[in-house]
Structure 1
């Protein structure tokens, strides 16, 4: 039971220490501890999915920077509760450098990523996906490179685990470069395209999927590859032949230069939905000015610092002006003026 004054980190630490507790049968019960990073389109519904997964009846607030929360679940009665750490990066693609904070060498074996893409903004969708996944892949690959030197067995285990999602007899085995850690891509706001909302059923399905990543619940066995309905495709249960070529004429496909099927799909997609420039997707709003992050003591010190900086700038400008006048005076004395 949390004690008065306990911080979030105190509670999480106490839960981890319960690894030494015994189960009902007298045997040691290990507490699972997993981490999930949510990222994707700005205002795409990431917070809503997290709250539904944790069964919290709260009104979601916009996530501007990087937020953390956690959830606990018991696999059986009186057993220690497993812990799931939930991280969420806000701002769409404007905060790529924050990806390296939650994903570390210490938790890479139990980490998963959930990418949420707003289907109602197709002109931003592909670039958002590409930039976030590439930044995450680069960071994870750096961690794996370090592990290969310090703990090659673990590095090999992680790589093999992801490779196993695709059976060797899969028709696309040689074409696919698996993402280095578990990845789920969710297309949000699907109900916008239908006159009857199916968002509740889809949220329940998303919740079950997140619970699998976070708490090890059984994975859903349902599969839906019918593009006229909400898609639900577990890893390795689809193929390029089933997806087929992009919807464009054969003559146009022949003119497009692409090395892989994914590149071809990207060219056709962006021809239909011209992408916004990367700079347009950057969030220029200063999170420090947002009222939901207001903290009196911090804000007062920040205001004082800004005032000192402003005064220093004024003093610096005054010194520069005085120096300018001295230099100008010297140059004037050295000039030969026309007596007329």
Structure 2
């Protein structure tokens, strides 16, 4: 109850604190603030997934470089709204050096990654996954190395948290290599993928199950279907807003996969889809390398450089600005005239001695 003589600002501040308290008693509630970076296949549907997660009815536009948006949600009635920062890296693998911008030592404890892989392009799948995850892992490891010197408790906490993606009594606890920060892998365009040959689908599905389990990640297949989009949102909302973690599992390769982190196993996934004799001939140092060789035997990969191709931002119509474009055209014309003039002037002959 405001007292006589209280300043208006004091009254307003007391009201805000009251609203932010779950019991109205004035006890302040900590606001949840997380960051999520979306990376993956070019034109794989990252923007659409973000918009659906934030319940925004917008027409998705191509992402050219690194874009940012945010969402706010309240975990319960009359509670303060939590904040989630969403970063999206465009261009597939061509702009992976921009990864270092959103992931910093200040937010590493509350950061997560969503990797979107286009199921309709299996020949690009492994190269895209490998290069993006390696770039993120290298950057995160550099941050952790610095934290070990400046704040070793935080570095230890982050490493231990990811080891806990599997229970210590899980039979695969010592056989996996968890990603250094929380990871969700989304297989997009399942509606197209579903039309593939059943053996091809099985190879892709088993491989992604192994990758996800090996990295301690969650896995979900999605498409334009509202039901599948909802499953992807469940996993993302768990990362971004702390919503309850789903415990449902779908591992049938003839259906869309849905496997939260830690709920799969190597015994259930089974061996790579090839003969034991072929596996014995492969030169591989880790299980991940074995799966890579088997997968790429079925789906010969596109080169990393082919996947890096991206168009000139200055020619993209979605970023057109009349005044800027006019100035650029004038500058280009002046440069062309200067080059033409220089080429028209004959070279100066050497003076006789």
- Give the TM-score band, short-chain normalised: 0.7 to 0.9
Given the superposition, is the C-alpha separation of residues 147 and 295 from structure 1 closer, same or farther in structure 2, using an over 3 Å criterion? farther
Cα shift readout 1:250-300 (whole Å, capped 9, x = no counterpart)? 221221111222211110110111001111111230122212122345445
What is the SS of the residue equivalent to 1:68?
strand
Which range moved further: 35-44 or 69-78? Answer: 69-78
TM-score calculated relative to the size of structure 1: 0.84
Contact 2:118 2:188 in 1 (8 A): yes
Within 1, Cα distance between the matches of 2:29 and 2:334? 56
User: 219, 231, 241: which one pairs with 1:205?
Assistant: 231
Within 2, Cα distance between the matches of 1:67 and 1:81? 23
What is the SS of the residue equivalent to 1:214?
helix
User: 241, 254, 259: which one pairs with 2:280?
Assistant: 254
| Runs of 5+ consecutive residues of structure 2 not aligned to the other structure | 1-15, 196-222
2:71 maps to: 71
Within 1, Cα distance between the matches of 2:241 and 2:141? 25
Contact 1:21 1:28 in 2 (8 A): no
Within 1, Cα distance between the matches of 2:335 and 2:238? 50
1:139 maps to: 139
User: 270, 290, 295: which one pairs with 2:296?
Assistant: 270
Look at both structures and tell me which one has the larger radius of gyration over its CA atoms: 1
Note the 1:33-72 alignment, pairs <5 A.
33-72=33-72
Cα shift readout 1:99-122 (whole Å, capped 9, x = no counterpart)? 011111111111110000000001
| Runs of 5+ consecutive residues of structure 1 not aligned to the other structure | 1-17, 335-340
Matched, 1:96 2:132: no
Note the 1:1-340 alignment, pairs <5 A.
22-23=20-21, 24-194=24-194, 199-303=225-329, 305-307=331-333, 309-310=335-336, 317=342, 324-326=347-349, 329=350
What is the SS of the residue equivalent to 1:184?
strand
Within 2, Cα distance between the matches of 1:231 and 1:164? 23
- Two-structure CA RMSD over aligned residues (Å): 2.4
Within 2, Cα distance between the matches of 1:131 and 1:288? 26
What is the SS of the residue equivalent to 1:50?
helix
Contact 2:18 2:26 in 1 (8 A): no
Cα shift readout 1:198-233 (whole Å, capped 9, x = no counterpart)? 722110100111111111111111112222221111
1:337 maps to: none
Contact 2:91 2:310 in 1 (8 A): no
Cα shift readout 1:167-220 (whole Å, capped 9, x = no counterpart)? 22222222212101000000011122337x872211010011111111111111
After the TM superposition, which parts of structure 1 deviate over 3 Å for at least 4 consecutive aligned residues?
A: 18-22, 295-315
Within 1, Cα distance between the matches of 2:323 and 2:177? 49
Within 2, Cα distance between the matches of 1:22 and 1:293? 41
Contact 1:54 1:71 in 2 (8 A): yes
Within 1, Cα distance between the matches of 2:27 and 2:156? 30
Contact 1:96 1:132 in 2 (8 A): yes
Within 2, Cα distance between the matches of 1:215 and 1:253? 43
Within 2, Cα distance between the matches of 1:110 and 1:189? 29
Deviation of 1:131 after TM superposition, in Å, equals 0.2
Cα shift readout 1:115-157 (whole Å, capped 9, x = no counterpart)? 0000000100000000000000000111111111111111111
Given the superposition, is the C-alpha separation of residues 187 and 311 from structure 1 closer, same or farther in structure 2, using an over 3 Å criterion? same
Contact 1:190 1:199 in 2 (8 A): no
Given the superposition, is the C-alpha separation of residues 19 and 121 from structure 1 closer, same or farther in structure 2, using an over 3 Å criterion? farther
Contact 2:137 2:180 in 1 (8 A): yes
